[in-house]
Amino acid sequence: MSGAGLPVCATGMTCRCQHGGVGDGMVRDGLELLFVVAVGGMLWSAVRRLRAGQVSVHRCGACGRPTSRAYPRCTRCGAPL
Ligand SMILES: [Zn+2]
């Protein structure tokens, strides 16, 4: 008669009730779905920022190739930016 007041596998860890762990899988699937949605949303917002030009690529005036503004000189040809 133990386990009468237990929650239905809310932890997804140790199931002491007797329904074959069906509730377990559902809880875990829900968490996985939430995780996938969160990561996907982060990636999508990053892609949108890139497309909006907020993370713009700096091009060297001498050789025209993309370089980084973190350096005072072009990383490709060495010309001053
Ligand atoms: Zn250059």
CA of 53 to the centre of ligand 1 (A): 21
Using CA of residue 38, residue 43, residue 48, residue 49, what is the dihedral sign? positive
Using the mean position of ligand 1's atoms as its centre, give its distance from the Cα of residue 61 in Å.
Answer: 7
Q: What is the mean pLDDT of the chain?
A: 77
Residues with CB under 5 A from ligand 1 (ion): 60, 62-63, 74, 76-77, 79
Residues 38-75 have pLDDT tens digits of 999 999 998 887 777 665 678 898 999 988 878 889 98
What pLDDT shows up at residue 5? 56
User: For residues 57 and 68, is the Cβ–Cβ distance under 8 A?
Assistant: no
**Cα of 25 to ligand 1 centre, how many Å?**
55
Residue 60 CA to residue 69 CA, distance in Å, equals 9
Q: Which of 42, 12, 44 is nearest to 30 (CA)?
A: 12
pLDDT at 6 over 60: no
